[in-house]
Amino acid sequence: MTLPTLTPDHALFLDIDGTLIDLAATPDAVTVPPGLPERLRQMQTRLGGALAILSGRKLADIDNLLGSGLPCAAEHGALLRDAAHNITHTAARPAEYGAWLKILNRYVAAMPGLLVEEKQFSLVLHYRRAPEHEAELRQLAEQLIAGSSDAILLPAHCAFEFKPRNGNKGDALAYFMTTPAFLNRIPIFIGDDTTDEPAIAAADRLGGHGLHVARNFGGSTDAVRDWLMTL
Ligand SMILES: [Mg+2]
């Protein structure tokens, strides 16, 4: 598939990790390319405000990485912040959150290289620095999630995320498309992970383009950023 030509009448939705910036050993270890936050701000202006970030990260992380205030869906869409900075929650913290945190922290203490990320609505067990434990950790994660009615397990790049059943990036994209800055535009979304597939499908369904970093950009975040420069 050839890439669409990016024009000012598009609405642009972007994942962060593995899309705008390269993945790193831990979520805190990523490097933001120089000028990226400023470039996103310029693009937001060129697009009449119709640019939003759809990320699995916490809201505070998104603001720390890209500068504060962009419209965004944080934590895979559990929390939405519109262009006027109004915040909507589309999910609640799973009832088992505290119990899971205790159990996961015991594994972290016993297995060097593991990391538990505490978000507002989700817990993430990262094992990028301990990939040899993947099978055991998958078994643990599936065991823990089996008893929960309001949470699901989201396997990601070297991580297992325990997230609320409600809220996904596809619903977030569809929500933004009903808000003033995005209305009647052609949506383009770029993502790299299984968690991005609902937004890829939503962009296609709404008459736009759901793009994938591996399938459409040769797996390169440089190629994504170069393409963004064509606006
Ligand atoms: Mg990603």
Give me the amino acid identity at 41. Answer: R
How far is residue 51's CA from residue 82's CA, in Å, rounded to a whole number?
10
Pairs from 164-167 (Cβ < 8 Å, separation ≥ 24): 164/78, 164/91, 164/92, 164/93, 164/94, 164/121, 164/122, 165/91, 166/78, 166/90, 166/91, 166/92, 167/75, 167/76, 167/77, 167/78, 167/79, 167/90, 167/91, 167/121
* Domain ranges across the chain: 10-91+167-228, 97-164
How far is residue 211's CA from residue 197's CA, in Å, rounded to a whole number?
9
198: Cα separation from own chain's centroid: 11
Catalytic residue, chosen from 15, 63, 193, 196, is 15
Task: Check: CB of residue 169 under 8 Å from CB of residue 77.
Answer: yes
pLDDT confidence of residue 187 = 98
Q: Which CATH class is domain 97-164?
A: alpha beta
15 counts as catalytic: yes
Q: Where are the beta strands (DSSP E) in 103-174?
A: 115-118, 123-126, 151-156, 159-164
| Distance from the alpha carbon of residue 142 to the mean position of ligand 1, in angstroms | 22
Q: What is the pLDDT along the chain (231 residues), one digit of tens a residue?
A: 789 999 999 999 999 999 999 998 888 999 999 999 999 999 999 999 999 999 999 999 999 999 988 999 999 999 999 989 999 999 999 999 999 999 999 999 999 999 999 999 999 999 999 999 999 999 999 999 998 999 999 988 899 999 999 999 999 999 999 999 999 999 999 999 988 999 999 999 999 999 999 999 999 999 999 999 998
| Distance from the alpha carbon of residue 158 to the mean position of ligand 1, in angstroms | 12
Q: Considering all CA atoms of the chain, what is the largest pairwise distance in Å, rounded to the nearest integer?
A: 53
| Distance from the alpha carbon of residue 190 to the mean position of ligand 1, in angstroms | 9
Residue 195's contacts (CB-CB under 8 Å, 6 or more residues apart) are: 56, 76, 154, 156, 161, 168, 169
| Distance from the alpha carbon of residue 2 to the mean position of ligand 1, in angstroms | 21
pLDDT confidence of residue 223 = 97
Quickly name the fold that domain 10-91+167-228 has.
Rossmann fold (3.40.50)
| Distance from the alpha carbon of residue 96 to the mean position of ligand 1, in angstroms | 26
